[in-house]
Amino acid sequence: MMMRMLHAGGMPVVFDKSWRQPDMQNPGGYYESREFVELPPEGLPYLDLLDGKAVKIVANGMLYWPSHLPAKVIFMERDTWERARSLSIMQRADMSRGNVHDFPPRHEGPAMVDQALPAWRARIFSMPQLDVLPVHYNRVGADPRATAERVQAHLGISLDVAAMAAVYDDRLYRNRAVEPHAVSR
């Protein structure tokens, strides 16, 4: 959702349409690139080329962000149950289509992510080269425009805030917790 918002707002976004095709979970497509989403070592040499561009990197991948490279980060936080459910559905759909990429690695799975995320978050927020804005996925729908304005202010660039806010589609928020569980911090 956030990558689509940035793209709609006019920010250059790095993604590979051929890697993950649109599906029922994300009919607008996945704004991800295999080289960066988990920030494997092969993606590190390309980071210097990203100046002014947005790229999606999962939390544990950010732990390897080079100390010499400053970056503005939008850290998406989500209810733990919702994240686990969404990942589980995505993984099942990917496996049924024969896609074998790890997002997150299947041996880690949602339970491991929930256990590790607070430490990852603390480390990412303490990295001096990163300027981090937390955005709660669960709250974007309450006021997408306010979220878009916060993101624009954080990035310090001019974006089309109305176009960013228009990206939010409550119908796509299907893995919603009936009662909020803990939001990963």
Identify whether the C-beta of residue 16 lies closer than 8 Å to the C-beta of residue 34.
yes
Residue 181 in domain: no
Amino acid identity at 137:
Y
Phi, psi of 113 (to 5 degrees): -60, -45
User: What CATH number corresponds to the domain at position 158?
Assistant: 3.40.50
Residue 124 in domain: yes
Q: In terms of residue numbers, what domain contains 7?
A: 2-172
Identify whether the C-beta of residue 103 lies closer than 8 Å to the C-beta of residue 44.
no
Q: What is the pLDDT of residue 82?
A: 67
The total number of structural domains in the chain stands at 1
Residue 183 in domain: no
SS3 (DSSP) at 13:
strand
Residue 114 in domain: yes
Question: Averaged over 16-43, what is the pLDDT?
Answer: 74
Question: HSE of 116 in the Cβ direction (CA atoms, 13 Å)?
Answer: 14
| Average pLDDT score, the chain | 81
Query: Which of the listed ranges 58-62, 104-108, 164-168 does the model predict with the highest average pLDDT?
Result: 164-168
pLDDT at 116 over 70: yes
Residue 12 in domain: yes
pLDDT at 144 over 50: yes
* Nearest to 32, CA basis, from 57, 62, 53, 9: 57
Residue 184 in domain: no
Residue 57 in domain: yes
Question: Averaged over 101-129, what is the pLDDT?
Answer: 75
